[in-house]
Amino acid sequence: MKIAFIGLGNMGGPMARNVAAAGHQVTGFDTHAPMPDGVVGAISAAGAVKEAEVVITMLPNGAILRAVAAEVFPAMTRGAVLCDCSTVDVESARAVADQAAKAGLLAIDAPVSGGVGGAAAGTLTFMAGGTDQAFAIVSPLFDIMGQKAVHCGTSGAGQAAKICNNMILGVTMIATCEAFALADKLGLDRQKMFDVVSTSSGYSWSMNAYCPAPGVGPKSPADNGYKPGFAAELMLKDLRLSQQAAAGVDADTPMGQLAALLYETFVEEEDGRGMDFSAMLPRFEKRQRG
């Protein structure tokens, strides 16, 4: 297939490289990042998309996605698909899909989980929102860039799944970290705490697969000085998107709201920026009640 890739940063770069390595013809555009191996550079986003059957975007936020979409839609071939893999607000995803339909194009929102490691290894999970027709066209590309793609529903459903998942992740990571800090003060050994919780009803991905305590459980960023991994500021971004979405549909999400506030404090007022999101554990270690 002829593919255009716009946004070739930490995630988009390796994803585009994998699509090119699988034999597709990939044209790329990024305002700053270099072209990955196998990708032919274009001088503008509109130039990159001209003959593409699928245009993949991997951009920082919804405002940039809307601007790029407005620029490329007039240049895209009728019937082509815009597949946005960025994490953006549900409203932007739906607005871009509406504009695509008006321009005679298909659109799918397909945010990912799996991080930079998953992007490089081609093992991402895609959560997709859009029509069956658009999903069927893009599916072979999901198979190259990832190991699983779930068609979640109509436009915006992929972004909805992503922020709900990450709201659970933010909340459970905080709960896991505060429980470890409490266990410390109660004199409970961290390894014993892991042995019990990881096989009891408190288990979660945060505890079992990404344990925030160094030297305990499987290897995780905690064993590497809390170097990300998944940076605290990216978790803050996703938690803010969850709260923006919750406000938009009048959903009561008190735990998500508190998690967003804690990550905001950690990133903007403490030393959380540039740390993995599991560095909430050393944060709690240093604190007292109240």
Q: Which residues are catalytic?
A: 162
Task: For residue 11, state whether it binds ligand NAD (rule: CB under 6 A).
Answer: yes
Q: Is residue 286 at the binding interface for ligand NAD, with CB under 6 A as the rule?
A: no
DSSP character at residue 75:
G
Tell whether residue 120 is a contact of ligand NAD (CB under 6 A).
no
- 9 makes contact with ligand NAD (CB under 6 A): yes
User: Which of residues 3, 6, 35, 245 is near ligand NAD by CB under 6 A?
Assistant: 6
Q: Which helix (H) or strand (E) holds 246?
A: helix 232-248
Compute the distance between CA of residue 93 and CA of residue 96 in angstroms, rounded to an integer: 5
Q: Which stretch binds ligand NAD (CB under 6 A): 7-15, 18-26, 75-83, 246-254?
A: 7-15
User: Judged by CB under 6 A, which of 5, 29, 180, 284 binds ligand NAD?
Assistant: 29
Q: Which segment (56-64, 101-109, 184-192, 251-259) binds ligand NAD by CB under 6 A?
A: 56-64
Under the criterion CB under 6 A, does residue 110 sit at the interface with ligand NAD?
no
Q: Look up residue 114 and give its DSSP letter.
A: S
> What residue is closest to ligand NAD based on CB?
9
Give the dihedral sign, CA 28/32/33/38. positive
Question: What letter would DSSP give residue 276?
Answer: B
- The residues pairing with 130 across neighbouring beta strands, listed in sequence order, are 108
Is the distance from CB of 126 to CB of 152 less than 8 angstroms? Answer: no
The single residue among 3, 4, 8, 245 that binds ligand NAD, judged by CB under 6 A, is 8
Task: Give the binding-site size for ligand NAD (rule: CB under 6 A).
Answer: 26
- What is the rounded CA–CA span in Å between residue 34 and residue 180? 42
Contact of 56 with 4, CB cutoff 8 Å: yes
Q: Which stretch binds ligand NAD (CB under 6 A): 2-10, 99-107, 210-218, 261-269?
A: 2-10
Tell me which residues in 181-240 interact with ligand NAD (CB under 6 A): 230, 234, 237
Q: Does residue 267 bind ligand NAD (CB under 6 A)?
A: no
The amino acid at residue 210 is Y
User: Which residue from 4, 45, 90, 96 is in contact with ligand NAD, where contact means CB under 6 A?
Assistant: 45
Q: Applying CB under 6 A, which part among 18-26, 58-66, 180-188, 243-251 lies near ligand NAD?
A: 58-66
Q: CA geometry: angle at 166 spanning 282 and 284, to 5°?
A: 15
Buried/exposed code over 247-259 (b: 16+ C-beta within 10 A; e: otherwise): eeeeeebeebbeb
Strand partners, 151: 128
Residue 31 DSSP one-character state:
S
Place of tokens 């998500």: 256
Nearest approach, Cβ of 21 to ligand NAD (angstroms)?
18
Q: Indicate whether 41 belongs to the interface with ligand NAD (CB under 6 A).
A: no
Interface residues with ligand NAD (CB under 6 A)?
6-12, 29-33, 45, 58-60, 64, 68, 86-87, 112, 115-116, 230, 234, 237
